[in-house]
């Protein structure tokens, strides 16, 4: 393995509760009742398609996106990395792995969170939502990260770590290895069905097992 690329929300940082509350608030403003199962079924990094599936009128999709951003920023407060995530990235960096980030998150928000959590030190390559005219599970966001990491010719030597089924589908489409992190968006069976080579309960847990296995070889 030469490089490891991570998702952001729900993988490295505990932002999914705020994201979900913001989405519920926006849906309510459009008269759409929030339901956990319907939300999980419709969830996509392509937020326009997600809102369309949930019942927001086509001519108000962009308005819904702007409302969500305002709701989310109001809810965020102090951003926290998941327990052990920072130490896990430090360990991977010490072991010589190149690392990057591919997220559907809005770049100004993500850049602020990278700085606030200290995780940005270890994620110099960053592909965010809106950087390309493609969203996960299209492989192009991951391909861009691989190009910037200098491993575009060797995707089979790259692992992508994420918490949603579309993360695993993107990894598979790019020829990379997908590692699923269990979250409210991706249960173990969902991640495996989407192509995860393995599934862990946390980034910290996966990194510890991965480095221990590498050391034993």
Q: Which tokens hold the place of 41?
A: 């079924």
Q: What is the pLDDT of residues 98-113, one digit of tens each?
A: 999 999 998 998 999 9
Per-residue pLDDT, averaged over 177-188, amounts to: 95
Cα 142 to Cα 67: distance, rounded to the nearest angstrom: 28
Residue with tokens 């949603």, as numbered in its chain: 164
Q: pTM of the entire structure? A: 0.89
SS3 14: coil
Give the residue with greater pLDDT, 146 vs 185: 146
Asked whether the predicted pLDDT for residue 204 surpasses 90, the reply is yes
Nearest Cα neighbor of 107 from 126, 128, 86 is: 128
Q: What is the pLDDT of residues 57-112, one digit of tens each?
A: 999 999 999 999 899 888 877 679 999 999 999 999 999 999 999 999 989 989 99
Q: How far is the first Cα of the chain from the last one, in angstroms, to the nearest whole number?
A: 13
């Amino acid at each position: 393995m030469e490089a490891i690329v991570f998702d952001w929300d729900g993988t490295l940082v505990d932002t999914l509760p705020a994201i979900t509350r913001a989405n519920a608030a926006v849906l309510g403003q459009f008269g759409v009742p929030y339901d956990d199962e319907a939300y999980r079924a419709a969830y996509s990094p392509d937020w326009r398609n997600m809102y369309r599936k949930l019942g927001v009128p086509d001519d108000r999709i962009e308005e819904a996106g702007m409302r969500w951003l305002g709701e989310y920023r109001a809810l965020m407060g102090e951003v926290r990395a998941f327990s052990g995530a920072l130490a896990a990235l430090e360990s991977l960096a010490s072991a010589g792995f190149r690392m990057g980030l591919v997220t559907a998150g809005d770049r100004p928000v993500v850049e602020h969170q990278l700085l606030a959590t200290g995780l940005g030190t270890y994620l110099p390559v960053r592909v965010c939502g809106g950087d390309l005219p493609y969203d996960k599970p299209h492989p192009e966001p991951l391909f861009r990260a691989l190009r910037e990491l200098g491993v575009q010719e060797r995707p089979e030597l790259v692992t992508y770590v994420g918490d949603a089924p579309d993360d695993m589908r993107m990894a598979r489409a790019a020829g990379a290895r997908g590692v699923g992190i269990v979250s409210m968006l991706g249960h173990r069976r969902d991640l495996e069905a989407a192509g995860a080579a393995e599934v862990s309960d946390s980034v910290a847990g996966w990194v510890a097992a991965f480095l221990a296995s590498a050391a034993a070889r």
